[in-house]
Every structure is written in structure tokens, then in C-alpha cells.
Structure 1
């Protein structure tokens, strides 16, 4: 490591490790003190790689009384007693749950470790009975109430979303296991569960209805992630290095960091939150890239989208939803919006207080283009390896006014659908078309029709403005005539660039672009 380069805690989930090894730490300990003082059972939903594990590790160090780790932090000025409590920390994150027996083994293994510390009752045979016994004896042996921390409580459930039998088995196991926390209330000092999703109360949490869900509570909106002020106050040297490496001003680097990684909102009327994993990677390596999206393949999201036949065009442009839609997730209701929100692919953008309606959208460019790029192979004939090449070529061809090459390449996206998205060919063709043009938006100014009275697509390059109109089982002449009759070119006539009209026909029978015609205007 170069002299003077600071260590950023990328992937470091241990608070003690961060503090003892001198990693940069964004102070969240005021939240820890506030929650610990209240002492009620909490639940927090946040996307993956958003700092949930580090937060629980911070609570663990605090309740274990490790005062020395908190020197110089906000909590040092707030706490005076630094009592030591028995802490039971269950981490379900780093495992593959392939069978009911695997989940039971993981739970049993954790119980065995705790039983070595606090003893085991001979008549405790089931997992819930053993859990209850451990909590009671930990309290009796230490004379202190017990702290229970559960990291990624829902990991087994997420891995079984598309297997109803396995999902039911996991749900039954976890329901009875977590239900112990209600009956053991008199032995407990503090309980905190985290996860990606909040599954409906009728399933996992039906026996644990005393949990206080702080996922959308405004004052806890900043408990995970990094705010703009925290970014500037904690990472000035790294931002300067990023700016210099990418030939940007300091303000320019901040602006690009915002566009790429900021924009998460976990409650209405709150400041934006940066994805900590992505922004720390960008600062560590002085490079803008899609770090968060590359760490996981959300295939379960695609499966939900396919089963629900959800219109991706609506999703991409932003979707309205009542608060009840995304505060919990019901597997049996094939609505992808709650899962997309809780997984971090959508976030709160606007809030209508009168009707209690939220508008959800992509938080930032990393997520928007990462998501579009990921789903393209599932909706088109283009493979995952090809999509980046194709999108780049699309842009280059329009920059040089090679429209025929552009249209020929576009045909490849419709060549052979890997599956039927919808019985109606029109829906599939429209979604594919939408994905292609939205992906081009990374590199040039693109408008895709989202309302009547506008062309299907408008693409602006340095020298040209293209207006596209597609007709399903119509003629190219009808498409070009519509461009003229509807005045689609009028808004762009004063921009001083060459205007190009492209009319195309899409054949239901061939399931592809059949013909096109170009007119310079």
C-alpha cells in the first residue's frame, strides 16, 4: 500500500476489526445509543451490501462493553456505564440453504456454540426449545438480560422464492424459532433483526408482532449508508484523488458520485443516501464502475417479473404505490414492486401526502443501467456477453448516421425470443424496444415514449436528432406520415442539428422488424 493511502472498509463487516486496524469509519454510533436506550425489539430492512452486518457488529461491541473501540465517536460522550451483556449473534448471510435440513443444521450449530457457554437442558430437543433454554440460562448465569442480534433473517426465504414446498418448510422453521423471542421477553435486554425483505406478518413474523419496524422511520433513514455530508466530511482525500485520476474538478467528481451511487431514500422528505459498497469502491480505486450490481445476480427478481407479466416500461419510468405495497412482501401476490424496492433496485422518489402515494424509481445510474443491462438477455436474443458490444455499436452507428446498420443490429434483438414474455407479441416487442433505447441513454440523450402524442423514440447525438416511429403490422409509409402529421419534429427544429425520420414496421408473424425507411429533414 502506498504511503498516505487510507484504508477503506470495503467488505469489512466487523466493527472491532475496523477500529483496531484503523479503517476509515463513518460514525453511526449515535443511532446505536438511541436504539439501545429505548430497548425495544427492532426490525430493519435494507438492500444487500448496505452496512446491515456492520451495524449489528457495532451493537455487539457496544453491548459487550468494549468501550475502547468507541474512543472519539459520538457514543463515547453519551454512554457512561458500559455494561456487559450476553450477546447471541445469529448470522444467516454466508450460507447456501438447499434443504430444510441445511437450515436446521445452521441453526443447531449456532445453538451448540451458545450452549457451550451457557449450558443445555437434557429435555430440550427442538430448535425453539433449545433457543429458549439458552436465552434463559444466559440470563441466569450472567445476571444480565440477553441481547439477540439476527443478521439477514430472511436469507433462506429469498433463496427459496421459486420453490413453494421449500419456502413453506423454511417459513415454518423460522416462524417457530423467531417466535421464541416473544415468549422470552422477560430475559431480553435488546433484540434487533435485519434483512432485505419484510415477509408478511401472516408468515414469519406472526408470532413476533412486537417488533418495531424502523425501515421507513425518518429519523433512522441514515442509519445505514452514507449521506452527502458524510461523504464530504470523511473522504475528502479520496474524492480529490478520484477527481485527479478522472480529469475532473472536485465538484465534478462529487456530481458524478451522486449520479452513480446516491439517490436512495428510505422515508419521505429525507436526504439521499449513497450505496456504501459502491461509493467506497469508487473512492478506493479512483474508478467509476458498477460495483454493487456486480456482487449479486438477482435471478429471483427476473423470475418474479416473468411470472407477474409486469410491464417493464412502467417499472423503468417509475411506478406509483401505496405505502402498504412495500412495507412487507407476500410471496403469494405476484407483484414485483415490493421486492424490487426492498432489494434496492427501486427507491422512494416522490411522496403525495394527500393520497399517501409514493413514486418509486431507480435510485441512480449504476442501478438503472445495471438492471437494464442484466435483464436484456432474458428478454432478447442477445446474450449477456454481447449486450455491451451491441449497445455501444448502436450509439456509434447513429453518431455516424449509419441508420441501416443500426436497424440491422436492432433486428438481432428480436431474432429468437428465449421464452414467451407474454402471449401478446406486441407487449414483448415493445419491452425489448424500450430496453434497447433506455440502455443507449448511458451514452447519448434518448427519449422513449411514455405518453401519447410523442414519437416512439428520439435519439440525440452531437450532429443528428433521430425520430423513430414503429408500426405493428403497419407500413413504413404510415409510420413516416404519422411523424409529419403529429408534428413530432417540431420541438427539435431549432436545435441546429440534422433531423432524421425513421419509419419502421414490425411483423407479428415474423416477430421482428420487417422493413424501415429513412428520410432526412
Structure 2
């Protein structure tokens, strides 16, 4: 019987992974480098990207647990394995809907630490108690203290649109985290992780000594899985995934790359795969949208609902300055930093001459998931209905039934509420782009990205369709452009039936006015 190796899905404790024989992507060389080259660090990464496991790895290291690191890179690097007092604060597992919830969570950890290191009566406030614990831990052990804080920003991002509660959380956390600077002489190592980097708010104003390594090239693959790590660690699982889907190793690896790779946290650095999706794909033996299926975070949904930001700008990528997306500013006018830091966009390019970054979708999982997410913003079609319609679109074109396809497209446009439709060509192009791009999950679809190409080309097993769209023009004009520009010529020798489809949109009707289909 074939041996099935253990995949650490949902396992965020380093000790459990090592003791129970789960597969582990070795990041311990980074741990050694960080420990020996600095002290206070901050790292921002999207959800389910391995931040909690990384924190747990640091905890085991500073506890001197050499036994857990046997066979890993750090075993050859570290010679001392000194045990330090470790204070590990995890703010992830709580719903912060009131001040008492945050106070209770912090007080709970402080009480646990005080059971070990003691308490003085004069220490009343949360920050006083925290400071006293750090000082006593140092005095009682003779060694500096390690502070590890996972999801430092969870209370803040849960209350982004509640200014009153957000201000209170800022006040509480400013004083609490501020201890990390005033107690510096007692601290050996400090590491905070979170989804966002809050700027221009009081929380970080007292933590200006932190080294923000979120966009440092040396740590771009600190979380996530590089392709080399993927192949080295998961080759048997990739082979099984390929066999179950009728693909050889190189083909399934290429599919996984398109589906899950492509996150860049620094310009032109090596991309990383989403670890959550990789592990689940290997376990389930299917390439699915595992990360996206865990749900778009409530805070992002709420922010986008109240934002007037034109989400259509994200479809083909958007050029911005670093300040526009690296640090979150508490305002709904620009949700871009939150969209980027939540993992829905990544750095695709950087123009060093004008200091502009290009942000875009990292991979197919996020591209198709986010476009599905966008549909209700532009139509009355729900998320569940979108998948049904896209499958029907694909089937109808596969069977050569252009009339059924066009009638279904009309349903999409008829569902655009009047208040959503601004009557511009751009709005209709957005819906058109979303439909055709979502079809690309199932058939080869190209959407125009440069001059001199048709608006869309769809390839099925037996057919190649070339679409051209006009707004308040005519279907005849669209067909004429296909002929004059020679849009069909590149596909003449592919051996499939060629169909050109000219379509006109009426601004008054807010829908398809007329279409003409001609087979070559």
C-alpha cells in the first residue's frame, strides 16, 4: 500500500508538526538570520500564509528546543541554543466587538504570564502589568525577554468602519505596544505579524524602531512556498495529484504555478505559492480555489461596500506609488492598501525611473475568485448564479450555439441596476471582461490587451470565436473591423471552425442591441 505522508493543513504549532511527522517547508535559515541580525521586527502577509507557524517556530527556537530542529537548516548554523523567557500573544482567536473584549483578551494573557513571573500591586493598567512582567522575567532569569505577537492588528481591522471603537482600540494598543520600546533594554527579540501596516495612526507611532521587513528582498519568501521548495518538499504529492488528474509531473506543476504561484512582496523577486492552497490541493487531489473559498474577510467586504473606489481599475492592473498601497490609512476613499495587503493584489512590475509599482492579481485562483466577487457590484447576478451562468456560457460556445450564448449575455446586462450603470462604455466593458475572463477557467480565452486585436477570442474543441463589440455603433461596423484588421488570420490554420461575432451595445437599452454571427 502506498504510504501517505502527513500534510499540515490547519496545523500552526511548530512542535506538533515536528513531533507528529508532518511535512515541513524549512524556513529556519531565515529564523537564524533574523535572530542574529536584528531585534524588533514587523511582518505583514495575507491571511493563511503561514504567519502563525512562523511565530511558533521562533517560540520553539527561543525556548532552546534543539530537538525540534534536527535535520533542518538551522541545526548547522546555531551552536548555543540558549533558552529565553518567551511571551507569545495571539490576538487571532477573538471577535473584538467591544472594548471589554479587547481588555479581556489582553488581561487573560497578562494573568497567565503573571502566574509565572509574579505581579506587583502598583501595576494596575494593562501597559503597567505588561512592562512589569517583562522586567521581572529578565531579573529572574538573567536573560532578556522574547515577545512574539501574532495578528497584532486583528482588533483594528475588525472595527475599521466604526471610528469610535477604532479610536478606543488605538488608544489601548498604543499604550500596550508602546511598552516594547520603553522596555527595550530587557528585550532580546520582538516580532509582530499582521495583515496590515497601519500608518498615520497612533498604534505605530511609538513603535518607530520596528524593522518592517514586509517588502525587504531578503525576506520575500519568508512566508509562502517557492517553486524550488515546492518540488523539493512535495514531489510525491504533486505526482499523485497529476496522476489523479491525468497529467504528467511537468504539466500538473505548470497548472499549480498558474493557479497558486505569483505572489511578489518585492519588485522582481522570486514568486511564492499560497501555502494553504498548495496543501489542500495535494490533500484533495484537485486544483480548486481553496484560499478564496475560505471567504473574503468581512472587513474587506464592508470597506469595499462603503468605498467609492472604481474596482474596474484593478482588472488589468493599476500603477501606483509605494505610499498608495504599502501602508494602510483609515479611510474608505482608498481601499487599495487593504486589497493588496489582504492578498488579492501583488506586485507585478516596478518602474524604477518614475518609482511606480504595477499591482495585479497574483494567479488564477485570485483572479477568478475576485472577478466572481466583483460581479454583484456591477449586476444583480449573485455569486451562486455567476458560476451557473459561466458554465452555461462555456457549454453553449462549445456546442456552437452562439444565439444561446448571446441571450445569456443579455441576461447579465439586463441585471445591471440603473444606479450601478453609469452609461459609460467602461462599465459595459467591465462586465464583458469579467464574463470572458471567468470563462477562461474552462476554455482558452483571450481578452484584448493591445491595439490591433479583437475584443475577445474564445477557443473550444471545435470552434474559434472572434468577438468585436461596439457601443452605440452597429454590429455591421464590428464585423467590418474584424475583416479590415484581419483578426481571424492568426487562427486560419488551426483546423477549427472560425466564427466572427459583431455585437452592438445600446446605451439607451443598456444591453445588447444587435449581433451578427458569420462562419468563415
Whether 1:397 and 2:392 are equivalent positions in the alignment is no
* Equivalent residue runs for 1:90-169 within 5 Å: 90-169=89-168
- 1:366 aligned partner: 365
RMSD: 2.3
Residues 13-50 of structure 1, C-alpha deviations (whole Å, 9 max, x = no match): 00011111111111111111111122420001111111
- 1:242 aligned partner: 241
Residues 218-238 of structure 1, C-alpha deviations (whole Å, 9 max, x = no match): 111121111111112122221
- 1:386 aligned partner: 385
What CA distance in whole angstroms lies between the structure 1 residues aligned with 2:425 and 2:159? 32
What CA distance in whole angstroms lies between the structure 1 residues aligned with 2:456 and 2:312? 13
Stretch moving more, 228-237 or 157-166? 157-166
What CA distance in whole angstroms lies between the structure 1 residues aligned with 2:113 and 2:194? 22
Contact 1:309 1:421 in 2 (8 A): no
Question: How far has the Cα of 1:212 moved from its partner?
Answer: 0.2
- 1:284 aligned partner: 283
Question: How far has the Cα of 1:213 moved from its partner?
Answer: 0.7
Question: How far has the Cα of 1:482 moved from its partner?
Answer: 4.1
Structure 1: runs of 5+ lacking an equivalent: none
What CA distance in whole angstroms lies between the structure 2 residues aligned with 1:296 and 1:338? 19
Distance change in 2, residues 1:3/1:115 (3 Å):
farther
Distance change in 2, residues 1:5/1:513 (3 Å):
same
* Equivalent residue runs for 1:41-440 within 5 Å: 41-332=40-331, 334-417=333-416, 420-421=419-420, 423-424=422-423, 426-440=425-439
Contact 2:464 2:496 in 1 (8 A): yes
Distance change in 2, residues 1:161/1:449 (3 Å):
farther
Stretch moving more, 495-504 or 142-151? 495-504
Contact 1:399 1:463 in 2 (8 A): yes
Secondary structure (helix, strand or coil) at the match of 2:160 reads: coil
| TM-score of the superposed pair, with normalisation by structure 2 | 0.93
What CA distance in whole angstroms lies between the structure 2 residues aligned with 1:461 and 1:160? 47
What CA distance in whole angstroms lies between the structure 2 residues aligned with 1:316 and 1:26? 33
Question: How far has the Cα of 1:173 moved from its partner?
Answer: 2.2
What CA distance in whole angstroms lies between the structure 2 residues aligned with 1:299 and 1:498? 46
| TM-score of the superposed pair, with normalisation by structure 1 | 0.93
Contact 2:381 2:415 in 1 (8 A): no
Question: How far has the Cα of 1:60 moved from its partner?
Answer: 0.5
Question: How far has the Cα of 1:305 moved from its partner?
Answer: 4.2
Distance change in 2, residues 1:163/1:468 (3 Å):
farther
Residues 288-343 of structure 1, C-alpha deviations (whole Å, 9 max, x = no match): 11111112323543444454444444312222222333321112262333222211
What CA distance in whole angstroms lies between the structure 1 residues aligned with 2:336 and 2:128? 37
What CA distance in whole angstroms lies between the structure 1 residues aligned with 2:284 and 2:499? 42
Distance change in 2, residues 1:290/1:419 (3 Å):
farther
What CA distance in whole angstroms lies between the structure 2 residues aligned with 1:485 and 1:235? 51
- 2:36 aligned partner: 37
Residues 115-174 of structure 1, C-alpha deviations (whole Å, 9 max, x = no match): 222222323222222222222222222222111111011112222223333333322222
Secondary structure (helix, strand or coil) at the match of 2:222 reads: coil
Contact 1:131 1:180 in 2 (8 A): yes
Structure 2: runs of 5+ lacking an equivalent: none
